[in-house]
Amino acid sequence: MEEKLNKLKELLGEVSDLQSAAAVLEWDQQVNMPSAGAEARGNQIATLQRLAHVKATAPEVGQLLDDLESYAKDLPPDSDEARLICVARRDYDINIKVPPDFTAEFSRVSAMAFDAWQKARAASDFNVFQPHLERVVNLGQRYVEFFAPYEHAYDPLLDRFEPGMKTTEVKSIFEALRPQQVALIQAIAERPQVDDAFLHQEFDDQKQWDFGVEVVTKYGYDWERGRQDKSAHPFTTSFSTRDVRITTRIQRNFLPSALFGTMHEGGHALYEQGINPAYERTALAGGASLAVHESQSRTYENLVGRSLPFWEHFYPRLQELFPAQLGNVDLQTFYKGINKVEPSLIRVEADEATYNLHIMLRLELEIALVEGALEVKDLPEAWNARMQEYLGVVPSDDAHGVLQDVHWSSGLMGYFSTYALGNLIAAQLWEKVNADIPDLDDQFRRGEFGELLAWMRENIHQHGRKYQPQELVQRVTGSKIDPAAYMRYLTVKYGEIYGF
């Protein structure tokens, strides 16, 4: 049976190679490629993804998985071999339902949609993007039908990013969370607002870049296995544990954008660099889910990067880089400023207390699009109405509203809820981290982040896709995904900042 397992690994390795080659082209499209190359690039990516899909669903792969089923039952259930066979079987059972031509079409349409989104966002004109998004939504609806019957039409899309998670579960979590977050925001609104005017000055691009590099280097990002570039929307991509790349977006007149964007993507990258190298080119490579991935990015962006101990170490360096802007701003004022709670238009720059409301808004719109209850042409109006309802602010243009996120242009329908779920997981992990490393704050004050990374490597990173997300969270924290730890974190933090 070991011979058959090795053959399975060989075949899946070829699939991984093709998918990684397509990912390189996608990275280049967002970082380097001239706009006129979009159609050709779409065809190139489509060809690679179609070949990968054909190989992944080959009869030989199915036969090997059938042959290995009884073998896996005799292995220790948590062994790498048993888990690899299990995850590979799950992937195969999903992929076999989707025609290769659909996979190619999806890649081609997404590549063209991304180019259209960039142009639409630059012009703040949804009409430029609308026909492309209509094709993306149509493909999403077609994808769903490959998995009929289903409990909810959104389930197959969600399952792409959160294996095993159901729409009803996400809705239940959000329904429990939303009133608590709204109550917290109302309590904050009743207190005197903190000042963050000093963040809205001119900050040199290169110095912003350099400071971000210093921070993620301290976090443990390995530059021999990674690099950072600029893109319209920050992202992380991984071609192997030895090539994990991040991007950032710099706003000259708003310091937090690049600062926390780099930290966020650095958290994703640390996860990918920490996966067991033995999983390379197998079904166990990659993160357990997008929510678990977001738990890492949100940890390093917020739980670490917006904490007072972090800035007790780093703030003197930031003042050294920007003496005219920050030289007369004391640490407490800066700390409160970067944690200011105020309903805002842009999700990636939203504070921790209001962030999840952005996600809930997007989830509801996505579900409505998939169900056919909302047409794409009506999306800007629906977006603005929900922004008014949820956050009390309305975008003045499409660029600051419905066009702000890259995800739909990349075909990533089913993705958004993972951001909020990631916040919840991050807080649960954070309570366990602090119980296991009681002097963590003191380590941050000294600029030491190695023990935190080692804990994440041991408990989260190394396992890759070996465990399903709910299973992994329960193994580490003793509980499945639960909003309680997140609300404890927010209440304590903002109670101290706003004095309630």
d(CA 475, CA 451): 20
CB 194 within 8 A of CB 337: yes
d(CA 113, CA 38): 9
Q: Taking phi first (over 0 means left), then psi (-120 to 50 degrees means alpha), and beta for anything else, what does residue 163 get?
A: beta
Q: Are strands 226-230 and 243-248 parallel, antiparallel or unpaired?
A: parallel
- The two most distant CA atoms of the chain are separated, in Å, by 70
C-beta atoms surrounding 186 within 10 Å: 9
d(CA 322, CA 164): 47
d(CA 104, CA 107): 5
CA-CA-CA-CA torsion sign (31, 32, 38, 44):
negative
For residues 274-295, one letter each, b for 16 or more C-beta atoms within 10 angstroms of the residue's C-beta and e for the rest, the string is: bbbeebebbbbbbbbbbbbbbb
| Candidates 265, 272, 294, 301; catalytic one | 265
Residue 307's alpha-carbon distances to 66, 355, 440, 497, in angstroms, are 50, 17, 11, 11
Three-state SS for 78?
Answer: coil
Q: What's the one-letter identity of residue 104?
A: A
Catalytic-residue membership of 265: yes
Within 13 Å and on the Cβ side, how many CA atoms surround 342? 13
Nearest Cα residue to 453 out of 260, 270, 275, 293: 270
Q: Kindly state the tokens that stand for 480.
A: 């499945």
CB 402 within 8 A of CB 379: yes
DSSP 232-286: SS--EEEEETTEEEEEE---TT-THHHHHHHHHHHHHHHHHHTS-GGGTTSTT-S
CB 454 within 8 A of CB 471: no
DSSP 94-134: HHTTS-HHHHHHHHHHHHHHHHHHHHHHHHT-HHHHHHHHH
Query: Residue 469: is the preceding peptide bond cis (ω within 30°)?
Result: no
Q: Kindly state the tokens that stand for 457.
A: 């490597």
d(CA 155, CA 94): 13
Could you give the residue numbers annotated as active site? 265
